[in-house]
Structure 1
Amino acid sequence: MYIKKILLAILLIGVVAGGAFAFMVYNAVFAPNTKFNNEEAHVFVRSDDDFNDVKEMLAPLVKNMSTFEKVAVRKGYASNVRGGKYLIEKGMSNNDIVNSLRSKNIPIRVSFNNQETLGDLAGRIAAQLEPDSLLLLETFNDREFLQANGFTNETKLAMYIPNSYEFFWNTSPESFRDRMHKEYQRFWNADRVEKAKKMGMTPNEVIALASIVHKETAKVDERPRVAGVYLNRLKVGMKLQADPTVIYALKLNSGDFNTVYKRVLYKDLTLDSPYNTYKYAGLPPGPIAMPDISAIDAVLSPEEHEYYYFVANVENFGYHKFAKNLTQHNQNKEQYVRWINAQKINR
C-alpha cells in the first residue's frame, strides 16, 4: 500500500513536471512574443546579414530573445538567413516569426519616372531596393550587356520604361537590369513595333523623339499634337529646333545635370553638339530623358495636322500656341518674348 502511494506520488510529480515542461515548450514556440504597439512591423534583412544581424533588428520587436533564438535554431533558420523584406505582425509567436523570416519575402512596388540620366535612375532605385547606386550604375553601363542587346552609350537610357514594377527588396543589380530589358521587350509589342516601322523609325528612335515631346509639354493631352509638329518637320527635312535638346547639350557639355535652365539663349544655339537640333538635322543620338509612356505613344499615334511651329502659350500656361507658317509663329513668339522679359528670366 505504501509503495503504491509512493508510485502514485512519483507519477503525479511526473505528470506535473511533464505538463510544466510542455507548457514551457508551447509558450516558447506558440505564445505571442512581440512587444510593439503597431499592427505590424517590417524587417529588412540584407543579403550578407547573419543571424546576429537579424537578432539585432528584432531586439526592439520581440519580448523574449532567448526563446526566439532557441526556436530559430531548432527550425534551422539561424544557419540559413535569407535577405529580403519580411512582415512581423503584432501578437506573432516565435514560430510565426521564424516562418515569416524563413519563407515569406515580401515583394514591393518599385517606381521611377522621367530620370534624365542612368545615374539618376540608379539613385532612384537604390532608395527603394537593397543594392547601392554605384553598383546599380556599374551594372547599367556594362558594355557587354549593352552591345549584346543592341544598345549604345547614347541609347542605353531607352531600355528603361517608366512605370511601377514588383520586385523583391533584395533583388540584385543584374536581376533588376535584366528584368527591365524584359519589360522593354514586352512594351515593344507587335502593335507598337509595326507603328514604328510604318514611320520608318526604330523603337529607340521613337523613344528619342518621345523624350523631346515629354520635355516640351507636361500636358498629356497636348503631346500627340507636339509629336505631330516634330514629325512634320522630319518629313520635310526641317531641323527639329527643339529647346530641350539644347538644354541637354549644355548639361552634357558641362557635366552638370542639376542646373535648371528656364530660358535658351541665342548663343546656346551655336553649341557644337550632336544633341543640338538647331545645329544638326534629324534626331539626336539618343533620348535626352526618360519619356513617359504617354509621350512614346504620342509619337506612335500623333495628331495629324499642318503645324510646323509652336511656342508657350502665356494665356494658358502649360499649353502652347501652334502655327502653320513662320509669320504666324513669329506673332505668337512676340507675345511669349514680351512675357518672359517682363518676368526678368535671363537664364
Structure 2
Amino acid sequence: MRLTFPEGFTLAQVAARLEAHGICSKASFVKAAQTYGFSYYPLVKKIPASSQRAYKLEGYLYPDTYEFYPGMKPQDAVGRFLRNAEAQIGNRYSYPGMTTDQVVTLASIIEREADDAENMKKVSAVFHNRLKAKMILQADSTRDYCNEYLIPVFGDKFKYYYNTYPNRAKALPAGPICNPGAAALTAAAHPAQTGDLYFATGTNHKYYYGKTQAERDAKMKADKVTPLYAD
C-alpha cells in the first residue's frame, strides 16, 4: 500500500494516517518511535538525549510516499521513515554554530510558517536574526504545536520547552514541531541575507517583512491589508 505523508505532518499525524489505513495502531507507532532503539541510524544517534523533548523522532519522519503493508510491525514502519531521512538529510544541511538537530528544528518552524521556497528563506532570515540578537523567537507555530499536540497528551509538562512566546524563550524549542521537507531544510541552512526581524501574512496572503514592527506594518498599511498572522 502506497501512502503519502506531506511536508509539515507531525509524528501524531503520521501515526494517525498509518492507523487509518490498517498499517499499525497509532499508539504502537508512537511507542516504537519513543522507545525502540534506532541509534544505528547516524542521524538518530545525533539527536540529543533530553528530558525536555516530547517526541524524540519528531522532525525525522521524512515526508514522502512510502510502501507499507497492513499489520506490519510499528518499528519497521518507523524504520522506513528513518532510512529515507538518513538518505535525504544525512549531513546535507548545516549552518555555522548549529547542530543538525537545531537545523531540523528551525526547518520545522519554517515549514509551518511559510508556504513557498522564497518566503521560507526570508522567514528563515527573520528567525536567524532573532536568534543572533538573542530576541524572543515568537513563532506562532510553536505555540500552536503546544496547544494541539503536546498539552492534550502531556499537560503542561513540555509547554515551557516548546512555546517560544514567553520572555524566557530566546532560543529554539527543545525539538522539531513537525517533519520538514527539503525546501524548509534548505531555507534553514541557507537563509536569505536580510536584516529583517519581523514578518506577517496579510489578508491578501502576501508576506510582509521589516527590520522593525513599524516598518512591516507600514508596508501592510500601504497595501491596505491587515495581518492574518504576525511574528
Query: Structure 1-normalised TM-score?
Result: 0.53
Structure 2 residue aligned with 1:204: 101
SS at match of 1:157: coil
Pairs within 5 Å for 1:173-188: 173-188=74-89
Aligned equivalents of 1:235 and 1:310: distance in 2? Answer: 17
**Residues 1:112 and 2:9 are matched in the alignment:** no
Structure-2 separation of matches of 1:336 and 1:139: 50
Q: Which residue of 2 aligns with 1:89?
A: none
Q: Which residue of 2 aligns with 1:307?
A: 196
Distance in 2 between the 1:336 and 1:273 partners? 37
Query: Judging changes above 3 Å, is the alpha-carbon distance between structure 1 residues 221 and 326 closer, same or farther for their aligned structure 2 residues?
Result: closer
Pair 1:165-2:66 in alignment? yes
The answer as to whether partners of 1:211 and 1:290 remain within 8 angstroms in 2 is yes
Asked if the contact 2:91–2:100 (Cα under 8 Å) also holds between the matched residues in 1, the reply is: no
> What stretches of structure 2 of length at least 5 have no aligned partner?
none
Give 1:296 shift. 1.5
Q: Which runs of 5+ in 1 are unaligned?
A: 1-107, 258-271
2:29 is equivalent to residue 145 of structure 1: no
Is 1:124–2:17 an aligned residue pair?
Answer: yes
CA–CA distance in structure 1, aligned partners of residues 27 and 115 of structure 2: 30
- More divergent stretch after superposition (226-235 vs 240-249): 240-249
CA displacement, residues 36-58 of structure 1 (integer Å, 9 cap, x when unaligned):
xxxxxxxxxxxxxxxxxxxxxxx
- Counting only pairs closer than 5 Å after superposition, residues 4-153 of structure 1 correspond to structure 2 as 108-113=1-6, 114-116=8-10, 118-128=11-21, 130-142=23-35, 144-145=36-37, 149-150=44-45, 151=47, 152=49, 153=53
Query: Is 1:191 aligned with 2:191?
Result: no
User: How many matched pairs?
Assistant: 212
Report which stretch shifted further, 128-137 or 177-186: 128-137
Please state how far the C-alpha of 1:228 moved relative to its aligned partner: 1.2
Residues 189 and 220 (structure 1), Cα distance of their counterparts in 2 relative to 1, 3 Å cut: same
The one of the two structures with greater contact order (alpha-carbon pairs below 8 A, sep at least 6) is 2
Matching residue of 1:213: 110
Other-structure match for 1:267: none
Shift of 1:248: 2.3
In structure 2, the CA distance between the partners of 1:337 and 1:171, relative to structure 1 (3 Å rule), is farther
* Mapped contact 2:12–2:149 kept (Cα < 8 A): no
Question: Where does 1:279-294 land on structure 2 (aligned, <5 Å)?
Answer: 279=166, 280-294=169-183
**How far has the Cα of 1:303 moved from its partner?**
1.3
Q: CA deviation at 1:213?
A: 1.1
Measure, in 1, the Cα distance between the counterparts of 2:160 and 2:9.
21
Q: Is 2:53 the counterpart of 1:156?
A: no
Q: Does the Cα contact within 8 Å between 2:136 and 2:164 map onto a contact in 1? A: yes
Distance 1:216 1:336 in 2: 21
1:73-97 CA deviation, whole Å, 9 max, x = no partner? xxxxxxxxxxxxxxxxxxxxxxxxx
Other-structure match for 2:136: 239
Equivalent residue number for residue 70 of structure 1: none
Query: How many angstroms apart in 2 are the aligned matches of 1:177 and 1:115?
Result: 14
Q: Which has the larger radius of gyration?
A: 1
Tell me the secondary structure at the aligned position of residue 208 of structure 2: strand
Q: How does 1:225-304 map to 2 (within 5 A)?
A: 225-251=122-148, 254-255=151-152, 273-279=160-166, 280-304=169-193
**Partners of 2:202 and 2:226 within 8 A in 1:** no
Output the amino acid matched with 1:324: K
Calculate percent identity across the aligned residue pairs.
25
Name the amino acid aligned to 2:180: P
**Matched position secondary structure for 2:65:** strand
**AA matched with 2:37:** F
Structure 1 residue 218 displacement after superposition = 1.9
Q: Which residue of 2 aligns with 1:321?
A: 208
